[in-house]
Amino acid sequence: MSAPNLELENTAKAYDGLRVLHDVSFAVSPGEVVALVGHNGAGKTTIMKLLLGLIRPTSGSVQVLGHDPAGSNAAQARLGMGFLPETVSFPANMTGREIMNFYARLKRQVRGDNDRLLETVGLADASDRRVKTYSKGMRQRLGLAQALIGSPRVLLLDEPTTGLDPTLRRSFYDTIMSLKDEGVTVLLASHALSEMESRVDRIAIMSKGRLMADGSMTDLRKKAQLPARIRLTTDDGAAGRAAEHLQGADIRHVNGRTVEFDCASENKMELVRRVTDIGVTIEDMEIELPNLDRIYELYQDNGEASS
């Protein structure tokens, strides 16, 4: 297995004796897309600053592309990174193309690839317009384009889809998937939970400076042990009879044709079979497995970290 491109090991950070990060350990491999989620103040920004080499850990270690990003070889790590901050700010009177040329010089890269990058983010037709004429979403896309200068091996994205409409959000994730296929490591911090759960490999949940959980959605569902939510639509008047045979389920609602209940995910089909075994016709069935919003809420309320 290849070495991780990003790694925190027992990493802690304190300011004037106040700990804002508590012994966090996780690694991200080449070609992995990992979401970093948590409330404001959970530690996401601190982790981003550590990876960028803007601050040093109080204890533990941080590695980016095999280097300490705040150490003597920091330049090697930074040349292999791209970063999109949450708040994108560019000189208003420069054009998109001029911005890209400026950052290419800053990153010691040739300008020849800039047109392709502007086209990738949908700004080819606006490349010679001044940034002050750009919408918020356009500035966000320009920020992504500058982060991609130099074909970075590591991409750090802070609230990357802010200001993007649904079509552009899909386009953004298409770009991320292409980068993943090329072996790029992507770490993105976001509050947009629902849009990420099917689009990332892993999710790291932070709360009060601690890493509460880290894994795929399948892993997180197993660890959280939250119930599945099921809604059965039966033939007329049979919902009450169906509910009587759902022992072990938490019945939430019953009317003439529908019964809604919660149950352990592994028991859902057994309970449905009980209903059909007594002759009730199920006309429709909706099964909602625990989503990231529910899992996230659990770990914000839970004081114990889970590995």
Provide the pLDDT confidence category of residue 187 given band limits of 50, 70 and 90. Answer: very high
pLDDT digits (tens, 9 = 90+) for 225-255: 899 999 999 988 899 989 988 988 999 889 9
User: Is the residue at 22 inside a domain?
Assistant: yes
Q: Which residue has the higher pLDDT, 88 or 261?
A: 261
User: Is the residue at 99 inside a domain?
Assistant: no
Q: Are 261 and 249 in contact (CB under 8 A)?
A: yes
User: Is the residue at 134 inside a domain?
Assistant: no
Provide the pLDDT confidence category of residue 136 given band limits of 50, 70 and 90. Answer: confident
Q: Are residues 162 and 264 in the same domain?
A: no
Mean pLDDT of 45-67: 94
Q: Are residues 211 and 244 in the same domain?
A: no
| Average pLDDT of the chain to the nearest whole number | 90
Q: How many domains does the chain have?
A: 2
Q: Are residues 169 and 205 in the same domain?
A: yes
pLDDT digits (tens, 9 = 90+) for 10-36: 999 999 989 999 999 999 999 999 999
First to last CA, the chain: 21
User: Is the residue at 215 inside a domain?
Assistant: yes
Cα separations in angstroms, 17 against 130, 170, 173, 301? 46, 43, 40, 25
Q: Are residues 178 and 50 in the same domain?
A: yes
- Domain span at residue 15 reads 6-80+152-222
pLDDT of residue 283: 92
CATH value at residue 17: 3.40.50.300
Q: Are residues 23 and 59 in the same domain?
A: yes
* Beta-carbon count within 10 A of 175 CB: 18
CATH value at residue 255: 3.30.70
The fraction of the chain above a pLDDT of 70, given in percent, is 97
Which residue type sits at 195? E
Mean pLDDT of 80-106: 92
Q: Are residues 183 and 283 in the same domain?
A: no
Choose the final residue of a domain: 222, 248, 266.
222
Choose the final residue of a domain: 173, 191, 222.
222
User: Is the residue at 54 inside a domain?
Assistant: yes
pLDDT of residue 69: 93
Provide the pLDDT confidence category of residue 256 given band limits of 50, 70 and 90. Answer: confident
